A and B are shown apart, each in its own frame.
Chain A
Amino acid sequence: MSSMLLEYSLIFMVISFIPCLYRVIKGPTIPDRVVALDAMTTIIVVMLGIYSYDQESVFFMDVALVLAIISFVGTVTISKYLDEGVVF
């Protein structure tokens, strides 16, 4: 029962990509797209966590942690670039 639930949860997460992709493509301004990309990394982190439990391998959890860190740093960098025109 549990592994069936995990499979369906992965499918459900893929379905939640659709509103994000809509916002990335249509989004009227650049900050909209940044917010949507940030949300997409959240979904990917969740998917990697579920997949890591499904495959009983701890390495996918490392990937999830690194992806969370990179997403945060990337968002802050793009925001600073939009705000001041320079990154550093």
Chain B
Amino acid sequence: MILDILSNIVLVIGLFFVFLAMLGLARLPDVYNRLHATTKIGTLGAFGVMLSILLKVGFSAMGVKALTVALFILVTSPVAAHMISRAAHRHGVGLCKESVIDEYGKACDAACPVPKEDTIQE
């Protein structure tokens, strides 16, 4: 009984965090800030939903698979975020106009002083 209520609470928290991640994806100003939203909040949301399924069914086949999905998302989503952000920076996507510092761009320019294409800004 207590386990049931606990799993329902975890489920609602997880769903709310997934919704917040998508809201952040729509609201924040450039690619890097959107990655902050989807990587951190989306990961915890999916983890919470899978954890609630594990609490509901125990360590049966479905519960173990839910735990596997949760751990897999937790391990791979930072790697995917790193790959997308690096590709975006090398592709020429500029930072948003509120940004205050860009040391990676300076280091790239120092390493290969090729005139870049026009950076795309929102």
Q: Are B15 and A62 in contact (CB under 8 A)?
A: no
Chain B residues engaging chain A, CB cutoff 8 angstroms: 4, 8, 11-12, 14-15, 18-19, 21-23, 25-26, 31, 34-35, 38, 42, 45-46, 49-50, 53, 56-57, 61-62, 65-66, 68-69, 72-73, 76, 79-80, 83-88, 90-91, 93, 120, 122
Q: Are A35 and B91 in contact (CB under 8 A)?
A: no
A-B contact count (CB 8 A): 137
Chain A residues engaging chain B, CB cutoff 8 angstroms: 2, 5, 9, 12-13, 15-20, 22-23, 28-32, 34-36, 38-39, 42-43, 45-46, 49-50, 52-53, 58, 61-62, 64-65, 68-69, 72, 75-76, 78-80, 82-83
Q: Are B38 and A5 in contact (CB under 8 A)?
A: no
Interface centre among A5, A18, A29 (most CB of B within 10 A): A29
List of A residues within 8 angstroms of B46 by Cβ? 42, 45-46
Known: A12-B15, A31-B93, A83-B90. A62 touches B25 (CB 8 A): no
Q: Shortest beta-carbon distance, B8 to chain A, in Å? A: 6
Q: Are B8 and A75 in contact (CB under 8 A)?
A: no
List of A residues within 8 angstroms of B93 by Cβ? 29, 31
List of A residues within 8 angstroms of B122 by Cβ? 28
Interface centre among A19, A31, A32, A69 (most CB of B within 10 A): A31
Closest 9 CB pairs of A and B: A19-B26, A31-B88, A79-B83, A79-B87, A83-B87, A61-B65, A82-B87, A16-B22, A19-B22
Q: Are B25 and A49 in contact (CB under 8 A)?
A: no
Q: Are A9 and B84 in contact (CB under 8 A)?
A: no
List of A residues within 8 angstroms of B19 by Cβ? 12, 15-16
In the complex, 19 of the A-B residue pairs with CB atoms within 8 angstroms, ordered by the A residue number, are A5-B11, A12-B15, A15-B19, A20-B22, A22-B26, A29-B31, A35-B34, A35-B84, A36-B25, A42-B73, A43-B18, A45-B69, A49-B50, A61-B62, A61-B69, A65-B72, A76-B79, A76-B80, A79-B86
